[in-house]
Structure 1
C-alpha cells in the first residue's frame, strides 16, 4: 500500500445516509452525509482526497472489544432484538443505545475508518474521519450512543503503524470516559479533555489525573470563545508541546457549540477550527475525528469547516448556491431549534465569534492544570 503524506484525506461512507438510531433519538439527524455533500458542493473533496471507510471485522475490533460483546452486537443487528440478559450485560437495547438496522455495521464503519487512518498515517499526514469519535464505548458494553470505541482503536492503530507517543485531545461537550478507561495508566498516551461540568457521564473531574498524563478540564455552562481560548493556550497547547507526540488524535465533537440541544456550552465553531489549525502543526501524524453533535446544521457546518482547515481551503463569507441547497435540505423534526432556523445556518459555514468575559472559576481551573503541566508527568 502506498501512503500519501502531503495530501489530506477525508474518510466517509454512504452507510450514514439515511441511517438513524430512531425517530426520537438525538442521532436521528444527518451528520457525515452533510459533511460529504457540503464538501463536494464547495469543491473541497475531489476523488484523490476521499477514501471509503471500510467496515471493521470482529477480529480487528477484538484488539480492544471482547469477542462476547462483538458477537452480541452482531446478533442484535441480525435479529433486531435483545434479551434482558444481553441488555443488562452489554448495554444494548437501551434508550441511549437502541436496536436499529445498522447497529453493528454503522459503528464498525466508523471504527474501520479510524483503524485505516492509522495505516494511512504510517509515514505522516492528515486524515479526517467525521464518522469517528465514539469515545464512550467500553470493551464489553455500549455506552452513551457509542457501540464501539473507534477513538481507542485509532490510538492502537497508530501505535501498530509506528507512532510511539500519541496525544489524544477531546473537545466534545461530554467527557472521554471510554478513552480514559483505556489509556489513563499509559505513560505514552497523553489525554486531554475539555467538557461541560455536571453533565453525563459525570466523570472527568479536575483532580482525575491517571499517572500524570491525563488532564481533565470540566468547564461551566455558558462557556464562551474567550474562555475556551484561555484553555487552549494554557492547557491544551502547552501540554501537547511538552509531551512531544509523534501523532495527535483530536476528537472534535460539535456539541459544545451554542446551538446544540444536548449541552449548555456557548462556543462558536471558530473555537474548534482554531484548535484544529494549531494542533495539526504539532506532530507529523494528525487524525481528526467527529464525535457528538445533535443539531444537523451546526454539526455539518462545523465539521465541514474543520475539513477546510485541515485541507487548506478558504471558507467563503457566503456559501455558493449548491452548498446552500445542502443546508436548506436538512430537517430537524421534533426540536424547537429546527422550527425557525436562522438564515445564517443556510448561507454560511463560519459562526460569528462568541467572545465574552473570562470567569474566575475558568481562570482558576485552567491555572490548576497549567501548574501541573509545568511540573511535568507523574507529579499529580
Structure 2
C-alpha cells in the first residue's frame, strides 16, 4: 500500500452542464478545484485524470438500451427520449452529455481501482456522487451513476464486501436499487424524510430483498434537523453496522445539500457538521476497511458559499492535511469568485459551530424526539436482520 491519496480531476468534467438556471451549476466544481489549489492541497496528493468509463463498464450498472438513449440524446439533444428521463426539466439533454457523464463515472471507477489495487489508500472525486441515476434512466440531475459503477467495479475486481455511506440530503436511491438483492454491498443512506423531499423513497422499511435483505439501510430525518441531531443519527447507525459488516472498501457520498443555506432542501446542517462526518468516515475506513476509502461529492446547490468549502475540507481530509475550520479563505480565491459570479465569497472555512456537539445514542433516547424516533425506526427495521440489537 503506497499510502498516497489521489484526487481525481479532469477539467472537462465542468462540461456536465444542464444549461443556464439549472441548479447543478458546474461552477461549483471549478470553484472547488480552485479552492483546493489555493490551500495547496493539490500538492499533498496525486492529481489523476482517469479515462471515461467505457461501454462495458457502464453496463455493469446501466442497461444497454439506456446507454444507447444517452448517446442518441448527446448527439441530438432536441430528440431526447423522455421515457428514459432525458430531456426533462431535471435532466435536460445537451450536446456531449454521454461523453462528460462517462468521464465523471470514469473518475469514480478509477478511484475505486486505485484504492483496491493499493496505488492509493484514499481517493476522492468530488465531481461524482451522482447517486440518483437508475439502471434504465436518468433522474435527479444524474445521468450515469458513478457511485454504483465504482462499487460494481470493485465487485468485478474481487471485493466481497463493500459499504456505501450516503449523507446527501436526498435518498441514495439509485445505488440502493443497483444492489437491492446483493448481500456483498451494504448501502446506508441518511437523508431528509421522503415525505418532504425528492425522490420520495428511503423509508426505514426499505431493507433490501432476497439474499440482500438487511443490506439496505435508510435513516429518514425530519425536515429542520440540525447539527446535533444529524450527527447523533449518523453515529447511532453507521459505526455499529460497519463494525459488523467489516467492509473491504468504504465508499462514501458527501452531498453538501444538507446545509442550511441549500435552496433545494430543508435540513439545517452546518459546514462544520459536514466536516465532522467527513472526519468520521475517514476514521471508520481505518477502523473497519483497512483504510481503503473512496470519497465522492454529490448534491449541493449553494454553489459559492457552501459547496467549495465543504469539498475542500473533504479533499484535505483525504490528503491527510485537514484544513482547520478557523482558517481564512485565501483572498485570491475570493476575488476569483466575485469575478466569476458577482457574489462575495465566504471569509472562513467554518460556519462558526466547530466543534459540533451531539449526544451519544448509548446514553439513552427520548421517545418524544422526532430524530430519535427516526433512528429507532431504522434500527428496529434493519439491525435484527444483521444480527444486531435494535
Q: How well do the aligned residues superpose, as a CA RMSD in angstroms?
A: 2.3
Q: 1:364 aligns with which of 358, 363, 373?
A: 373
Q: 1:17 to 1:368 in 2, by over 3 A?
A: closer
For residue 177 of structure 1, report the CA deviation from its aligned partner: 1.1
SS of alignment partner, residue 24 of structure 2: helix
Equivalent position of 1:346 in the other structure: 346
Mapped contact 1:11–1:127 kept (Cα < 8 A): yes
Aligned structure 1 segments of 4 or more residues deviating by more than 4 angstroms: 354-359, 371-374
Equivalent position of 1:175 in the other structure: 171
Equivalent position of 2:146 in the other structure: 150
Q: 1:292 aligns with which of 287, 294, 299?
A: 299
Q: 1:310 aligns with which of 299, 306, 318?
A: 318
The whole-number CA distance in structure 1 between the counterparts of 2:79 and 2:137 is 13
The whole-number CA distance in structure 1 between the counterparts of 2:167 and 2:369 is 21
**Which moves more between the two structures, 105-114 or 27-36?**
27-36
TM-score norm. by structure 1 comes to 0.89
Equivalent position of 1:120 in the other structure: 114
Number of corresponding residues: 364
TM-score norm. by structure 2 comes to 0.87
Equivalent position of 1:101 in the other structure: 95
SS of alignment partner, residue 258 of structure 1: coil
Structure 1: 5+ residue stretches without partners? 333-337
Q: 1:330 to 1:221 in 2, by over 3 A?
A: farther
Mapped contact 1:38–1:326 kept (Cα < 8 A): no
User: Is 2:217 aligned against 1:209?
Assistant: no
Mapped contact 2:116–2:249 kept (Cα < 8 A): no
**Which moves more between the two structures, 111-120 or 276-285?**
276-285
The whole-number CA distance in structure 1 between the counterparts of 2:45 and 2:328 is 26
The whole-number CA distance in structure 2 between the counterparts of 1:138 and 1:92 is 12
SS of alignment partner, residue 97 of structure 2: coil
The whole-number CA distance in structure 2 between the counterparts of 1:80 and 1:39 is 34
Mapped contact 2:207–2:381 kept (Cα < 8 A): no
For residue 80 of structure 1, report the CA deviation from its aligned partner: 2.5
The whole-number CA distance in structure 2 between the counterparts of 1:258 and 1:366 is 21
The whole-number CA distance in structure 1 between the counterparts of 2:350 and 2:322 is 11
1:6-17 superposed matches below 5 A: 6-17=3-14
The whole-number CA distance in structure 2 between the counterparts of 1:80 and 1:256 is 32
Mapped contact 1:224–1:356 kept (Cα < 8 A): no
SS of alignment partner, residue 7 of structure 2: strand
Q: 1:87 aligns with which of 72, 82, 86?
A: 82
User: Is 2:46 aligned against 1:52?
Assistant: no
